[in-house]
């Protein structure tokens, strides 16, 4: 049985974030549960170690109390994702947040071409973040510029793909597992992968399965977290 002191001293909580929930919502849900159960102080510290988009599911690590100091250390660890890329079409957000804006041929795409193309993305790569992302430029989030219809130049960044495995091919869908460094945008990987296939691509499903040695198999849904305190 956990005590208020346990959460003030510091806990690492593994959450399996549901689809459509923001990372902020998940943190607030746990904060509400903990404050209600333990009557914790107003300035009780709680935060997540790495945002997960609302359209993604999976591992969200939440730190409490003094363990919020560990957030940077956890965020720096390698991450693993599984997901689905749909080829033959692109969207401005590189995922399902926005509608398809262009279509491309897929008849030339074979299993051999797909497997060969993955090799281009293993190792250190240059990647441009999606225009629909929370990175700041000129004092505004990129998605704010994008929603205002403003054209902006986005600088590419170095990122590392440690593993890129194709797990299912059922065109236009391609399922994958990827292990990557901090700061990698899987949406950008989906878009760039479509380009490299001489077609288009966007992300239609994403699940974060691991951060370092932490795995989603040990996570609980936010609504089920309260039961773990009994």
Rounded CA separation 6/13 (Å) = 12
Helix 186-196 with 111-118: angle, nearest 10 deg: 130
Contact 178/187 with Cβ under 8 angstroms?
A: no
53 catalytically annotated: yes
Rounded CA separation 228/137 (Å) = 41
Contact 11/33 with Cβ under 8 angstroms?
A: no
- Please pick, among 6, 16, 53, 126, the residue that the annotation labels catalytic: 53
Rounded CA separation 87/194 (Å) = 6
Rounded CA separation 27/23 (Å) = 6
List Cα–Cα distances, 12 to 48, 59, 68, 72, 173, in angstroms: 10, 12, 9, 13, 35
Rounded CA separation 60/104 (Å) = 35
List active site positions: 53
């Amino acid at each position: 049985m956990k005590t208020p002191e346990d959460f003030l001293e510091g806990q690492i909580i593994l959450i399996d974030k549901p689809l459509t929930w923001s990372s902020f919502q998940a943190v607030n849900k746990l904060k509400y549960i903990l404050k209600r159960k333990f009557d914790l102080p107003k300035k009780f510290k709680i935060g997540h170690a790495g945002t997960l988009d609302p359209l993604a599911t999976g591992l969200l690590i939440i730190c409490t109390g003094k363990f919020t100091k560990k957030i940077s250390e956890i965020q720096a660890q390698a991450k693993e994702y599984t997901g689905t890329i749909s080829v033959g079409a692109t969207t401005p957000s590189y995922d399902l947040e926005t509608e398809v804006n262009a279509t491309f041929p897929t008849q030339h795409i074979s299993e051999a071409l797909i497997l060969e193309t993955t090799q281009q993305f293993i190792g250190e790569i240059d990647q441009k973040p999606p225009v629909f992302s929370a990175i700041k430029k000129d004092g505004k989030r990129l998605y704010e510029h994008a929603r205002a219809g403003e054209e902006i130049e986005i600088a590419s960044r170095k990122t590392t793909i440690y593993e890129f495995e194709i797990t299912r091919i059922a065109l236009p869908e391609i399922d994958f597992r990827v292990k990557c460094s901090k700061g990698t945008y899987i949406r950008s990987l989906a878009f760039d992968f479509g380009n490299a296939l001489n077609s288009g691509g966007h992300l239609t499903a994403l699940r974060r399965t691991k951060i370092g040695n932490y795995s989603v198999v040990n996570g609980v849904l936010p609504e089920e977290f309260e039961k773990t305190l009994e």
